[in-house]
Structure 1
Amino acid sequence: MIDGVLPTILIVDDSPENLTVLSELLQPDYRVRAATSGEKALRIAATEPWPDLILLDVMMPGMDGYEVFTRLRADPVTCEIPVIFVTAMDSAEAELRGLDVGAVDYIAKPIIPAILLARVHTQLELKQARDWLKDQNAWLETELARRMSENLVVQDVSIHALAHLAEIRDPETGNHLRRTQGYVRSLANQLREHPRFASFLTDHTVDQLSKSAPLHDIGKVGIPDSILLKPGRLMPEEWEIMKTHAKLGSDAIEQAERDADRPVEFLVLAKDIAHYHHEKWDGSGYPDGLAGDAIPIAARLMALADVFDALISPRVYKPPMTFTEAFDIIVAGRGSHFDPDVVDAFLSRFDEFCEIAVRYRENEPHPPQSSPG
């Protein structure tokens, strides 16, 4: 008995006398269903209550037991029901054939009641164990997925909490994190099929890039308030200090990598983004003056996203530009400030950039969503 319910056994035999004998033998302990042909057996097996075990005669007119077995295995509803062949063919070859096709056991007629009952009991116990393991595996998979989802949520919250440390100290940034995160994902999706980027921009890497993007300015927590919050343009010596935020950010992330018990994949991208997102394609950027493909791909995407958002955002020393004005500046930087192919991706996704900017706009009036002329 399983959970208070008698196991169901389907017996299949073209002889009514054999069905009667088997039914009387099994009914005290099991719920018995019977079929006198292969066709009827298939119909019964596919309806509730589904059999926990099938006793299947091999030698039947029309559809024999082997064909019935083949059809049972081909149907997702019945493919896992264990089958015991019951037949008058008691040769070793017949038994081997039955076991080779996948039957769990083979019983020769005439039936010896004690042997049949013992084998039925054994197969039902095995099925119950398999079902329990299957349920446990399903539960474990669900639980693993739930915990991984929770871990990802905690990870995302932690990332944004760290990123907001920089944002809190620079109140002008507002929704800058969300916007630049959206821009980076948009560029990455556009470039996924590009020969220069396809091997790098896998589904997984695009997700990790999006996750890492908010940490690009984490190094600003190390910049003095007198410089970070200065209401106006910076003096040259102040600008040199401001530029150190790129290395400060990558150093902080590198320290987090060392402190972790195991490698954290997205931190590698986050470190590249923090350190190199102010590098320029022509080598005139900072902090290392890298040029061209020496600049990590993640940082090249972040560079364009960061500049576009800075252009359309208000600052104490400037009003926000319109989308069209920002568009023109990005295009003008193709091949000098930005990777040409990244700019081409921006051109293809410009409308999406505008939509992201509007969706995560600040409280202040946002520049109009105009298109380049």
Structure 2
Amino acid sequence: MDTVTEAASRPTILAVDDSPENLWLISGLLKSRYRIRMVNSGEAGLEAAGTEPLPDLILLDVMMPGLSGHDVCRALKASPVTRHIPIIFLTAMAEPEDEKKGLELGAADFITKPINPPVLIARVATQLQAKAAADFLRDQNAFLENEVQRRTRELTAIQDVTIHALASLAETRDNETGNHIRRTQHYVRALATALQNHPRFRSQLDDATIDSLFKSAPLHDIGKVGIPDSILLKPGPFEPHEFEIMKTHTTLGRDAIQHAEDALGMPVEFLAYAKEIAYGHQEKWDGSGYPQGLAGEAIPLSARIMAVADVYDALLSRRVYKKAMSQEEAVAIMREGRGRHFDPDILDAFLGLLPELERISRQFEDTSR
């Protein structure tokens, strides 16, 4: 290592003292081991401490005109840029109360004046070693935190892709497209967000819950994978026995998600909502739905929100057995379902979101709709 590189790699010490003699002494004792920066006032010390490259250690006189050492220390410890720089007070104030005050302000150590050279050298070395260890731990913690965040993002992305792949498989079998999944997913989030301030729902719809609803919504019809093609793809009305088979897609969906959760060996929040939605999104507010014939608030909130989103999109979409409806026709039918098919308050929130829902519909429009 050449002389210039070696000097640049040395720790930097900032000495702040209004006494030229003390600055001269500090420099003479430490310059062979460290890079020394010297200033003669608290104001200059505060500025120098925040200037790159930041010092590794600050030797700070207490009694100075203008900003005292205590003032400077207090300001440095309040700043996220300089709070981790260790400070050693240089002071002739050796009373216990003086030391207590300095420690409370965040000082790492004290050196009493007149300065004892061996004490100065030893305590500077000790504090620099402690800082190096603390910096290493902070760097490691920051690395580990970033790594955890990166891996979490990867797992979330893999999870989302898997969910959409499974959901798209079910929708493809039903002559629908992946955009139905996208639209209903975004409808659900828009509705849930609008209901956050409603007195009936605010306690159940925090941001984390809405994220889980958004993630779980694509699995609402996953049970259709288990319905025979002769029924699922039938272009005309179902015979009574066929409709009974079709209705089992709710139970098939819930059971498939439950099996997946059982295989994981642990509960997963969004899968709990996915089970509610898959099993309950065909229930109706007046109790005339299926599979359980639940009514009112006995139907899980997640399923009530999904029901509005799913029916709305189904009305707007073309199917083998029907044409797509206009926005006006679809909304008229939705209004008729208030208090019968749909929770009245959720339907009212839906009606207040029509411009946003239309925007979502256009954003994820099917080319063949």
TM-score bracket for the superposition, by shorter chain length: over 0.9
Structure 1 position 100, deviation (Å): 3.3
Match of 1:317?
Answer: 321
Find the partner of 2:166 among 152, 162, 166.
Answer: 162
1:325-364 to 2 correspondences below 5 Å = 325-364=329-368
In structure 2, distance between residues paired with 1:148 and 1:199: 27
In structure 1, distance between residues paired with 2:261 and 2:318: 35
1:91-110 to 2 correspondences below 5 Å = 91-110=95-114
In structure 2, distance between residues paired with 1:62 and 1:357: 66
Match of 1:60?
Answer: 64
CA root-mean-square deviation: 1.8
Match of 1:136?
Answer: 140
| Residue 196 of structure 2 is aligned to residue 192 of structure 1 | yes
In 2 relative to 1, CA 90–355 (structure 1 residues): closer, same or farther, beyond 3 Å? closer
Structure 1 position 3, deviation (Å): 11
**Given that residues 185 and 217 in structure 2 are in contact (C-alpha distance below 8 angstroms), is that contact kept between their aligned partners in structure 1?**
yes
Match of 1:245?
Answer: 249
Structure 1 position 292, deviation (Å): 0.3
Structure 1 position 307, deviation (Å): 1.1
In 2 relative to 1, CA 363–39 (structure 1 residues): closer, same or farther, beyond 3 Å? closer
**Given that residues 212 and 273 in structure 2 are in contact (C-alpha distance below 8 angstroms), is that contact kept between their aligned partners in structure 1?**
yes
Find the partner of 1:38 among 42, 54, 61.
Answer: 42
Match of 2:262?
Answer: 258
In structure 1, distance between residues paired with 2:109 and 2:315: 76
Determine helix, strand or coil for the equivalent of 1:231.
coil
Match of 1:236?
Answer: 240
In structure 1, distance between residues paired with 2:342 and 2:151: 40
Instruction: Please list every run of 5 or more consecutive structure 1 residues that lacks an aligned counterpart in the other structure.
Output: 367-373
Structure 1 position 300, deviation (Å): 0.5
Q: What count of residue pairs does the alignment treat as equivalent? A: 365
In structure 2, distance between residues paired with 1:326 and 1:190: 20
Deviates more, 1:146-155 or 1:35-44: 35-44
Find the partner of 2:20 among 13, 16, 22.
Answer: 16
In structure 2, distance between residues paired with 1:90 and 1:195: 62
Match of 2:119?
Answer: 115
Structure 1 position 174, deviation (Å): 4.7
Match of 2:312?
Answer: 308
Structure 1 position 260, deviation (Å): 1.2
Deviates more, 1:91-100 or 1:239-248: 91-100
1:283-302 to 2 correspondences below 5 Å = 283-302=287-306
In 2 relative to 1, CA 337–62 (structure 1 residues): closer, same or farther, beyond 3 Å? closer
Deviates more, 1:329-338 or 1:14-23: 14-23
Match of 1:369?
Answer: none
Determine helix, strand or coil for the equivalent of 1:232.
coil
Find the partner of 1:6 among 10, 17, 20.
Answer: 10
**Given that residues 17 and 60 in structure 2 are in contact (C-alpha distance below 8 angstroms), is that contact kept between their aligned partners in structure 1?**
yes
In 2 relative to 1, CA 306–71 (structure 1 residues): closer, same or farther, beyond 3 Å? closer
Determine helix, strand or coil for the equivalent of 1:175.
helix
Deviates more, 1:331-340 or 1:232-241: 232-241
In 2 relative to 1, CA 64–360 (structure 1 residues): closer, same or farther, beyond 3 Å? closer
Structure 1 position 43, deviation (Å): 2.2
Deviations 1:343-362 (A, max 9, x none): 10111011222222222222
Amino acid at match of 1:245: H
Instruction: Please list every run of 5 or more consecutive structure 2 residues that lacks an aligned counterpart in the other structure.
Output: none
Deviates more, 1:253-262 or 1:193-202: 253-262
Structure 1 position 162, deviation (Å): 1.3
TM-score (ref. length: structure 1):
0.93
Deviates more, 1:161-170 or 1:171-180: 171-180
